[in-house]
Structure 1
């Protein structure tokens, strides 16, 4: 009997390739960046099989011997994002810190990447050596678990100054693979047919519908906060660079920041649209949230693209000694101003209720807290310079720059609040008289108009409340001025249709200056508060503040040509700014509540608490993550102290990485 000939290896290989291509025609499941909440290992594709414990053991050895937190993620695909962008965003959103490393592997894309913070203890040369010698060879053979085990052992070796263990393959692996090839092809055929035929139409539709609205909204809100913080830090660093090198040398960076500012403003505008009274359908919500995320990604991409070049320009590490001297001088100036702030606050409390002082009530204490932080970290920078640790000195100085800026802003906020309260107190009688005249004029036409009668009655009641508060003694003149202006605007909505265009324009022109002054005061107070407490301020307060600024800009730009529209915009700006301040204060109060479990535990020293609240040290108060620093995910305590932000966007600022194809 003639033996049946075995299929040649070439034919087997060709057959496998054909069916592999068939399987790969199904789209890989792209997963958006996400918060790592499953410990060190996140396996979305079942790559580890029964070797998960082996991988965890290798990770534990690395943690024990080198004090490196190692996190590995297996997904099908990074989607439309570049691997480094995907990994950096995941690391940032998860709050991975200076001693943590993320290895991300996309099994279907055949790509991998690693991501660490700028101050991670291993340099790029060592990390790349581990990647080439220990990780890539195993990934090329689809040995997913072994690749991670080798990575952990490789990092442990280079941290100890030893060579990376050899990861050369064994020929037996090829033989084993050939013996299993025919069975694998059969399984592939069956699996592909099952996948194509058993999926329900509903499952197919859900794929096309995209991410659930609630998940999109959460991602959009987190990205709004993080991008707003990134832009604020970038603006501050740009201001320092402009003072050092001049506007000509920093013009390109200024243009980048302006472009990111426009993108962010567009995102906030869409967020406000979602927050307004008109309800959107689920499809409309998804479209609007996607637009927000797209605009924020554009803003971050702009900033990230220039981050490395900006760091080279400033070169804080090389110029650390002169930077230290400059910041010591700023520290002296802010500290010297604090007794005057105490005196001003004391005078304000003698004249006004606490509600009038509210936005700046704790400004002196907060400024002292920032100066305590500055003192400690300038000393740390001095020690780092003396020891030749220029990179560490740069990080300390960057944190001090923002703390000093906030300290000065807190001092200025008290001075400005005092001036605005005095001015509002002086102008309030005139505002009240003007609104009373508007009510009297409107009452002449109210007999034949039911809506106007109701508006006049409401306006009279509102003004009576204002007069009652002023007669009682202590009152908030800024709040009462805003109330009077909003009363006048509500009345004007009914009287404008009864008057000619010229009369309406004249009335609006007479009221516009005071409305603009009130809006500027309200926005200034809200901006100071958000900027110096942004570590705890959420998306709603920031959205209202951004919309208030946009309304004010419109009122100021079109005041002469369109006084009626400008008056409406100015009044709206003041109202939105007040809402922003209220929302921000609630956010901060919730954070400061000792029962609030979001408060980070170990923060190094007491001065760091205020620095995290101010967003100087990035510590994940809103969702457990922040750029360039933050808390470890919820399963454990931080293994590092939070770090400061720097010029750049959310995804890549302050991080480095590598990787490639396999």
Structure 2
């Protein structure tokens, strides 16, 4: 057995030594790779600084400086691993792990910072080609200007000035943008020759954006004509639908129909919108006409839906609401009378329901109940009556049981100071007569209330 454990110990030690040797090899390789990466990045920074300027390269330069500082620690740890002072296996393992961590961090920082500059550096290297492309695009877009002006003039005879306002100035604006793009491209070339890279790059980006915007607003002229024709086609369909909707809404404008006034107003508004549409051959704004007509049509649909819903659910007569309120008041009065007359016997349930009924009751005014709120008032009155009835039933149970909520207590209330009610005989409504009298009394009251 001792031989087995000895062999097992030697195998574990050999495995740990192999792991430590592998970690040491990784630390040395990472140290060499990170140092070489720093040297390569330093050369790239010099090139980028000359091409992009200090502002664009500042994040990379700061990152490179931070990496150099932390890599100094890594080299120092590696030096400690090879000095003349003996080290334990644990010390070597800790240092090598730290070296690997520092080198990995350095690689990540440099990757992130150089990647951020990659696109800008590519732009700088392709600057002459990009400038040639800008000049070519300017000439191509200039050739479209006469056609754009002709399109605007032709559309002016078909559409109103308000409709055409969104594209009327597009050809002139496009021409100004193209002139500005050429000027910016020339500035970029001169600034780069003067070794002012930051200004050269800004001018190049400005020229590129000016060309893009010029092309977009020229496309907008052609898109306007297509969208206007589409709006006119849709407008014709909406006009037909609106006229059909007016005919369908007429029955809901008759006297006595719920919400007739609201439907009539919506019909009048839609008719006015139809009447305001320009006649054939008159310059128009199909976008505005379509928006106005759709809004009026939607208002009529909403008014008709509201009237149709009310017609399917008639308004309760005002007398029904008043009767329900009177029944609720009567129920509250009966429940309050019983609870006030037997306070020593009444528990929390009955009291809570009575309080809730009394809280809801002021929300109903039986003398002023508009049609729109009658159904809600009727439901609320019935809820008040229900709560009062539940309070009365709970009070009946408390009196029948001889104690509220099953608690073995009783008292006259007032100034009795907790005086206990007699629990037998004929004194003060004791156990013998309390349930009998309570049942007879409440039975009569409840029968009268729900008659």
Q: Give the TM-score category using the shorter length.
A: 0.3 to 0.5
Relative to its length, the structure with more helix (as a share) is 2
TM-score, L = length of structure 1: 0.28
Relative to its length, the structure with more strand (as a share) is 1
Quick check: which has more Rg, 1 or 2? 2
TM-score, L = length of structure 2: 0.41
Q: Which structure is higher in RCO with an 8 Å CA cutoff and minimum separation 6?
A: 1
